[in-house]
Chains A and B, each alone.
Chain A
Amino acid sequence: METVKELNVDKESLKRLLGSYQRITTGDLIPLLQQIQQVYGYLPPPILFELSKQTRIPISRIYGVATFYEQFYLRPHGRHTIKCCRGTACHVNGGPEISRTIQQLLRVKPGGTTEDMAYTFETVACLGTCFLAPVMMVDQDYYGHLNPDKISQILKSYR
């Protein structure tokens, strides 16, 4: 079985990314991880090992940062990301029902990805669109004034 280090992942994109920096300091770690995630869709562990090698930032430090922040994923993501808001306004306006409906329809828990890799479902602390509660985002699209009825239709439009 391949170890995490040996998995076959394209390292060229990482090299290009690092090339755009003149000097890399530890302060650049989070923007770097954000850029890596943008390119690869997530943070592939072999890439993190390579990043450590190139920047001399210890892998333990990189791992510590990658696992601290909610936005970083260490596993591949679905084609579409559903972000269901769990903010206060959404909470008092039926947000939990929306979340439960999505979980039931897609048979996936928060943070998980559907088996067919179509959707990754996350809940987010707040999308800042509180007056339209309850709200969810699918990729870059916002959906407000939701009720459990509307979910199935919205999700179908992304298939």
Chain B
Amino acid sequence: MSNLRIQSTHDLERLRRQLQSQAHQIQTKVYICMTGCRALGALAVAEALREKLAQFGMEKTVQVVETGCIGICAQAPVMVIEPQGFLYGGVKPEDLDEIIPQTLQQGKPIDRLCVKHDGAAVPVLKDIPFYQKQKKLVLENCGRLDPRKIEDAIEKGAYVAAVNGLHHRKPEDIIEQVIAAGLRGRGGAGFSTGVKWDLCRKAPGNEKYVICNADEGDPGAFMDRALLEGDPHRVVEGMIIAAFAIGAHHGFVYVRAEYPIAVDHVNIAIGQAREYGLLGENIAGSGFAFDIVVRMGAGAFVCGEETALIASLEGKRGMPNPRPPYPAQKGYRGKPTNINNVETFANVPLIMQMGAPEYSTIGTEKSKGTKIFALAGKVNNTGLVEVPMGTTLGEIVFEIGGGIPGAKPFKAAQMGGPSGGCIPAQFLEHPIDYDTVEKMGAIMGSGGLIVMDEETCMVDVARYFIDFCQAESCGKCTPCREGTKKLLEILQTICDGKGTEDDLQTLQVLGTYIKRTSLCGLGQTAPNPVLSTLKNFRVEYEEHIRNHKCRAGVCRELLHYQIIDTCTGCGVCKRKCPVDAITGEKKQLHVIDQHLCIKCGLCFDVCKFDAIIR
């Protein structure tokens, strides 16, 4: 095992060239995404492909790579075939009987598996509109390598920046470079990363810590999951550089337990990095020591808050502490600690390789670089996208996202998770960066971007987020513990059709006080979805209160599914009902039992005779 160890920049360079020439020996590669696509059978596709290639005697000429997120998740399971760069979606094991002869042997695309645009097949990935406006820098290797093989990462240039830095650069210079690049924290708050590192470096003491916050608790966000599962070495490398800059020798990756595959891949990556001498004592012969331990969260959103995360690492209940002192001065075990988000660390090797001047040409004046967004909700091309800061919301939703299903009008985009706000249509042409998003009444947040259409009730959205924050509130401070409970009660009352005019005033005032007086970020931002929907969608609140109406058809108390006399007794609704709430004889008027009805709306959707009203 010791002959694997890299002891110098030359060792790494030599190894990289060796791996590159090996990689060129096989021309045909099939990349199959194993992140989200796993949920739609990607593993079975990979297994079947290996079997069939062996049957054809092609196992030595075609390489099957189980890879990370390719981004166009709406087409899952996704497969990319090189050297042509063909992208196939919705791939099933049966499709392989066509893929192997037609594409792998003859190099021809199969139109029915390609992404369509305006009715025509677009076989090559880089021609697909979804990818055109993206700039995949941080996600460059995601989907292009096997994340469980460090050799794949090294072949693509992993650890070059770290090893060069450790051997040839001073920590202070690295920090200056990160400041000059303008990198801001990608976890949501957007604080200057370089300045944070500097504060930690200057804090007195020899025992310092670097922590990667991989708690990714925002519902609707999966950027960090994709990075950890798809390109873990990039994150590890970022942590090594940070540790060197700060003078820390111990690191943690705190991953939420709901991401078992990410935990697995990070553990594998760290183990392999150690084998190669890229973690541990004397990294790559530089004399610098740094190692990382992986710790799992235990299901508490509040542990994404840095002081609560630290408490969790110390074996305590995840309750935040007042700041100052900031973790940079007094963090884990009272020692100077630097905590950064996964995507923040993933940007670091990029900045080292490109240099600050080039990196800072990307983005806007105050928000440099790219941002990864998890595009979800009512949008055609749900998936993972990486765009330069300054891209407009409209470009993301329509040109990349392909617009709303059914060409329905855009209602709002929720950004920033439970801490964020809902951005209405009038801001579609505004560029997205940390400062402009704040002016729109939201926050950049970690990157979750949920698109909403006319079937989304904005009051329900506010209620949903407050419900979440209430459940996740640690309970330590009164404004959050009691305040979110009260906000939730009021919102539930409004959704139940029992709200009053005074309630709107109460929500506004109470929300503002909770923001101002809560101990930590959770409480300080919990009212944001309420306040932003009150501001931008007040009409819907008023309709719930004054007219007992939910225009989106969501609030159940304001809905009542009934079958009327245009019913022909065809029985389709009865068969579709998932809880058998509909009874009726053939060709007779059917009836919905209101006690059993869960108001899912399936009957309403399937009735061809408009016989169901709500």
Contacts and interface: CB of A to CB of B under 8 A. Distances in A.
Given A69-B299, A152-B578, A88 B414 contact: yes
A117 interface: no
Nearest to B576: A149
A152 B578 CA distance: 8
Nearest to B260: A140
A68 interface: yes
Given A64-B317, A101-B598, A152-B578, A70 B298 contact: yes
A147 B602 contact: yes
B220 A87 contact: yes
A127 interface: yes
A132 B42 CA distance: 14
Contact of B36 (A70, A87, A129): A129
A89 B383 CA distance: 11
Contacts of B299: 69-72
Interface in B40-94: 40, 73-74, 76
B295 A132 contact: no
Contacts of B472: 125
B600 A94 contact: yes
B468 interface: yes
Contacts of A105: 578-579
8 contacts: A28-B315, A33-B298, A65-B316, A69-B318, A101-B579, A129-B222, A130-B219, A152-B578
A30 B303 CA distance: 13
B220 A88 contact: yes
B312 interface: yes
Interface stretch (B270-278, B374-382, B515-523): B374-382
Nearest to B313: A27
B530 interface: no
Contacts of A86: 219, 468
A92 B259 contact: no
A87 B36 CA distance: 15
Contacts of A69: 297-300, 318
B297 to A, nearest CB: 8
B565 to A, nearest CB: 26
A30 B465 CA distance: 28
A158 interface: no
Nearest to B451: A92
B166 interface: no
B210 to A, nearest CB: 16
A46 B40 CA distance: 41
A49 interface: no
Contacts of A140: 260
B410 to A, nearest CB: 13
B258 interface: yes
B73 to A, nearest CB: 4
B218 interface: yes
A100 interface: yes
Nearest to B575: A149
Contact of B578 (A30, A88, A143, A149): A149
A130 B299 CA distance: 18
A8 interface: no
A26 interface: yes
A10 interface: no
B-side interface size class: 35 or more
A97 interface: yes
A100 B600 CA distance: 9
B151 interface: no
A2 B478 CA distance: 39
A22 interface: no
Contacts of A104: 578-579, 596, 598
Given A91-B464, A126-B221, A148 B600 contact: yes
Interface string A145-157: 1011101100000
A30 B295 contact: yes
B417 interface: yes
B328 interface: no
Interface string B189-207: 0000000000000000000
A11 to B, nearest CB: 22
Given A31-B296, A72-B298, A128 B216 contact: yes
Given A69-B298, A104-B579, A93 B468 contact: no
B295 A131 contact: no
Contacts of A29: 315
Top 6 A-B pairs, shortest CB-CB distance: A142-B39, A87-B219, A70-B299, A69-B298, A131-B73, A29-B315
Nearest to A126: B219
A144 interface: yes
Nearest to B315: A29
B534 interface: no
Contacts of A100: 598, 600
A151 B206 CA distance: 56
A92 B258 contact: no
B39 A135 contact: yes
B468 A125 contact: yes
A29 B464 CA distance: 33
A56 to B, nearest CB: 13
A9 B464 CA distance: 40
Nearest to B318: A68
B359 interface: no
Task: Give the interface centre of A65, A94, A126 by most chain B CB atoms within 10 Å.
Answer: A126
A27 B252 CA distance: 13
A93 B453 CA distance: 11
A125 B584 CA distance: 39
A33 B298 CA distance: 10
A133 B315 contact: no
A151 B377 contact: no
Contacts of B579: 101, 104-105, 148
Contacts of B38: 142
Contacts of B371: none
B464 to A, nearest CB: 5
B452 interface: yes
A18 interface: no
Contacts of A94: 600
A145 to B, nearest CB: 8
A115 to B, nearest CB: 19
A138 to B, nearest CB: 11
A108 to B, nearest CB: 14
Given A92-B452, A126-B219, A149-B602, A144 B40 contact: yes
B315 A25 contact: yes
Contact of A30 (B298, B376, B601): B298
B318 A130 contact: no
A48 to B, nearest CB: 14
Given A64-B317, A125-B301, A130-B376, A148 B578 contact: yes
A77 to B, nearest CB: 14
A86 B217 CA distance: 12
A88 B456 contact: no
Contact of B259 (A25, A57, A128, A130): A128
